Amino acid sequence: SAAEKGGYPSFMLKEIAEQPRAVADTLLGRIGPEGTLTLDEIRIPARELREIDKVVIVACGTAFHSGLIAKYAIEHWTRLPCEVELASEFRYRDPILDARSLTVAISQSGETMDTLMALRHAREQGSRVLAICNTNGSTIPRESDAVLYTHAGPEIAVASTKAFLTQLVACYLVALYLAQARGNKDPEGIRSVIRDLAGVPGAIERVLAGMEPVRELARSLADQDTVLFLGRHVGYPVALEGALKLKELAYMHAEGFAAGELKHGPIALVDRGLPVVVVVPSPQGEPLLHGKIVSNIQEIRARGARTVVIAQEGDTEVVPYADHLISVPATPALLQPLVTTVPLQVFACALATARGNEVDQPRNLAKSVTVE
């Protein structure tokens, strides 16, 4: 009903708008004043956390994309090797796991069959399992050794938005907690990122306040057949997520690529007028990759692409090559997906609406896939 949607035309728009709150709620009570984390839910004692020698993340759909981003953070902050795998593939493999492995199962619903089976498969090999979940008491947390709940609140729209951002927050918390427990060569750096997390809800708020041009752009692209998404580093999974949202909601052909792969295929798709969304890393945080992606944007533009560039505020270098520029507030490089994902959600939602689609219940999709 209209009342349930809180005055928004769809649950999806309501849930997109709720993201600053969802992120704040997921951080609540977990960050101490000195930039230290308290995650009592992770009942694994510090001594055992120090013995972990490998992290394996399993998930499906949008939750899988949060895992792909988590890998960059976990490896960088903890120096632990981290693998991320689609639960539907992992469960049929012979993964190499033991009691020193930590398997992280990420699921909004806590009921996705493949993710549940993947976690059982990991447990059979002796791995510890930590769930990141949005649904209290659901099956995946019940079958895990520990659970870190995301506090996004109920997510009704089939396409995941606020649950995704809170999954990311939970992944960052796990990574930073492991770094804190195991020691990091730059403890002040870790505390500083923890403090930066507290500023993220405000940053998302600012992104949301500037979304009218994105909606306008989306409406102007309603007749397109294809949209490509490019990213590097943590922007690569963001590109995958942007493309997934467009498939789910707008029923358009959309693909996400690692920008470094352009010359290995995707550039052959670039033709006059093709919209290409590029997620640009922070010029300060990732100067090398920033330079590389600026050349990628020049390359596709020279071949006629219509470039939609998502970049950090004050990034003047990209301006000459952006047909459409979407600015996001500065964050530490690894946290950038928390702000760059938001315009892509708004974009997909507006494009779907412009094409006459029902955004809360896309055709053929279910909120939770509890069968095979």
Q: Is 159 in the site for ligand G6P (CB under 6 A)?
A: yes
Among 78, 103, 115, 184, binds ligand G6P (CB under 6 A): 115
Where do runs of H (alpha helix) occur along the chain? 11-17, 19-27, 46-51, 61-78, 87-90, 113-124, 139-142, 162-182, 187-197, 200-209, 212-220, 235-250, 287-302, 337-354
Which range in 46-54, 70-78, 154-162, 348-356 contacts ligand G6P by CB under 6 A?
154-162
Catalytic site includes residue 367:
yes
Q: Least distance from C-beta 341 to ligand G6P, angstroms?
A: 13
The smaller minimum CB distance to ligand G6P, of residues 61 and 242, is found at 61
Q: Give how many residues touch ligand G6P by CB under 6 A.
A: 16
Task: Give me the least distance between CB of 212 and ligand G6P, in Å please.
Answer: 26
Q: Does 367 bind ligand G6P (CB under 6 A)?
A: yes
Q: How many CA atoms lie within 13 A of 219 on its CB side?
A: 6
Nearer to ligand G6P, 135 or 331 (CB): 135
Minimum separation from the CB atom of position 183 to ligand G6P (A): 32
Using CB under 6 A as the binding rule, whether residue 130 contacts ligand G6P is answered as no
Which pairing describes strands 146-149 and 226-231: parallel, antiparallel, or unpaired?
unpaired
146 Cβ contact list (under 8 Å, min separation 6): 41, 42, 43, 44, 128, 129, 130, 131
Contact with ligand G6P (CB under 6 A): which of 144, 160, 224, 341?
160
Measured from the CB atom, the residue of 166 and 296 that comes closer to ligand G6P is 166
- The answer to whether the beta carbons of residues 154 and 296 sit under 8 Å apart is no
Pick the piece of the chain touching ligand G6P (CB under 6 A) from 27-35, 76-84, 93-101, 360-368: 360-368
Binds ligand G6P by CB under 6 A, chosen from 78, 109, 139, 336:
109
Q: How far is CA 128 from CA 122, 139, 277, 317, 331, in A?
A: 8, 16, 39, 46, 32
Q: Which residue is nearest to ligand G6P (CB)?
A: 61
Which string of x and - marks every residue 42-81 that binds ligand G6P (by CB under 6 A)? ------------------xxxx------------------
DSSP 189-200: HHHHHHHHHTTH
Q: Residue 314: CB partners within 8 Å, gap ≥ 6?
A: 330
CB of 144 to ligand G6P, least distance (A): 13
Task: Give the interface segment with ligand G6P, choosing from 36-44, 282-290, 350-358, 363-371 (CB under 6 A).
Answer: 363-371
Is residue 158 involved in binding ligand G6P (CB under 6 A)? yes
Output the smallest distance, CB 181 to ligand G6P, in A.
26
Shortest distance, position 59 Cβ to ligand G6P, whole Å = 6
φ/ψ of 151, rounded to 5, equals: -110, 55
Contact between 107 and ligand G6P by CB under 6 A: the answer reads: yes
Q: Residue 361 burial (CB < 10 Å; 0-12/13-18/19+)?
A: middle
- Ordered DSSP codes for 246-313: HHHHH--EEEEEEGGGGGGTGGGG--TT-EEEEEPPPTTTSHHHHHHHHHHHHHHHHTT-EEEEEEET
Q: Is 368 in the site for ligand G6P (CB under 6 A)?
A: yes
Q: How far is the CB of 165 from ligand G6P (least distance, A)?
A: 13
Q: Is 365 in the site for ligand G6P (CB under 6 A)?
A: yes
* 313 beta partners: none
Q: How buried is residue 154: exposed, middle or buried, by Cβ count under 10 Å (0-12/13-18/19+)?
A: exposed
Residue whose CB is less far from ligand G6P, 138 or 327: 138
Amino acid found at 118:
A
Among 74, 98, 94, CA closest to 84: 74
State which of residues 108, 166, 296, 307 lies at the interface with ligand G6P (CB under 6 A).
108
Contact present, 348 and 248 (Cβ < 8 Å): yes
Q: Applying CB under 6 A, does 144 fall inside the site for ligand G6P?
A: no
Residues that bind ligand G6P (CB under 6 A): 60-63, 107-109, 112, 115, 158-160, 365, 367-369
**What residues act catalytically?**
367
